[in-house]
Amino acid sequence: MLGSVAPKAEVQVVSIAQDDDRIEGSRIERVVLEVEPGILVPLILLHPRERTAAPRDRRTPVVVAVAQAGKSGFLGRRAGLIARLLAGGVSVCLPDLRGLGETKPEGSRERWGALTAQASTALMLGDPLVAARLRDLRGVLAYLRGHENLDTNRIALWGDSFAAPNPPGRNFRVPRNVDDRPRWSEPLGGLLALLGALYEDEVRAVYVRGGLSAFASVVRDPFVYLPPDVVIPGLLTAGDLPDLAAALAPNPLRMDELVGGFNRLEPADRVHAIYRSAQEAYARAGAPGRMILYDVSTSPADWLLQQLAVR
């Protein structure tokens, strides 16, 4: 199914640089890690310039944010949320896992493109790109655990998507090679955040935005608008994303703006129905209020600050 998800080698630090620039009032570290032989993961660590943590503990919590677009997507599209986290005394780590962000291969993501070829080859070799990127993420977390300025008992994962959803009336029965085709979803960030929390015990909370509601929604129709690099062969024979969410109980989990197989926004009532079993698992764990679906009362940044207990 997923194949090998444990890091294959000890993470090596290739380079570290302190940046004189300032992003949203932060101190910046630019780091390059070698997570496997020949596999480099560049990342940015944004630290609050003025610590707001209690004097007894000068280390800061950290939010690790992942998405298909990589760190540039977060800096360009989520600068306000990042600024709020930094102002609240939390560091933010933005890694470009293999094939994402600045490590993305040149070319198209269409059927003939480099990323599709890479994903197809990985599937044929029994090592899906989801598994490889999960190993990369776990390698990043291993590096952060050894960072002297970070409190790795307070880690949160943030998986996001910057892909615009398709409108409700969109026609999906269109030829492959026409212009103005329906847009793919980009659920990788949310999927990696859920999987990372499953395998890494120190993850305290997970926030998912724009993720896939369930893989079952993809196979209900012969027309598929899912990128091949998030495919996990055989997944639905064992479970689905609601089962993965249930396995995280009682750890805090928030999910917003999920999409279905056609990359259309799922309404709140449908998401609650899809995730009923996960909500029941949280209730059995004595934490019914720790799984939040489609919350509009609290910003994601404030929710993350609450879960990381930053005062």
pLDDT of residue 56: 44
Sheet holding 39-48, edge to edge: 12-19, 26-36, 39-48, 91-95, 60-66, 150-159, 203-209, 253-256, 291-293
Are the CB atoms for 92 and 46 separated by under 8 Å? yes
Of the candidates 68, 183, 72, 71, the one whose C-alpha atom is nearest the C-alpha of residue 130 is 68
pLDDT of residue 25: 66
User: pTM for the complete prediction?
Assistant: 0.94
Q: Could you tell me if residue 121 is left (phi over 0), alpha (psi between -120 and 50 degrees) or otherwise beta? A: alpha
Domain residue extents for the chain? 12-307
pLDDT of residue 2: 86
Q: Could you tell me if residue 218 is left (phi over 0), alpha (psi between -120 and 50 degrees) or otherwise beta? A: alpha
pLDDT of residue 304: 98
Are the CB atoms for 210 and 69 separated by under 8 Å? no
pLDDT tens-digit profile, the chain (311 residues) = 788 999 888 999 999 998 766 666 688 999 999 999 999 999 999 999 765 444 446 799 999 999 999 999 999 999 999 999 999 999 999 999 999 999 988 877 777 777 888 888 999 999 999 999 999 999 999 999 999 999 989 999 999 999 999 998 888 888 777 777 888 899 999 999 999 999 999 999 999 999 999 999 999 888 888 899 999 999 999 999 999 999 999 999 999 999 999 999 999 999 999 999 999 999 999 999 999 999 989 999 999 999 998 54
Are the CB atoms for 117 and 101 separated by under 8 Å? no
pLDDT of residue 55: 44
pLDDT of residue 292: 98
Give me the CATH topology for the region 12-307: Rossmann fold (3.40.50)
pLDDT of residue 24: 60
pLDDT of residue 180: 79
pLDDT of residue 20: 62
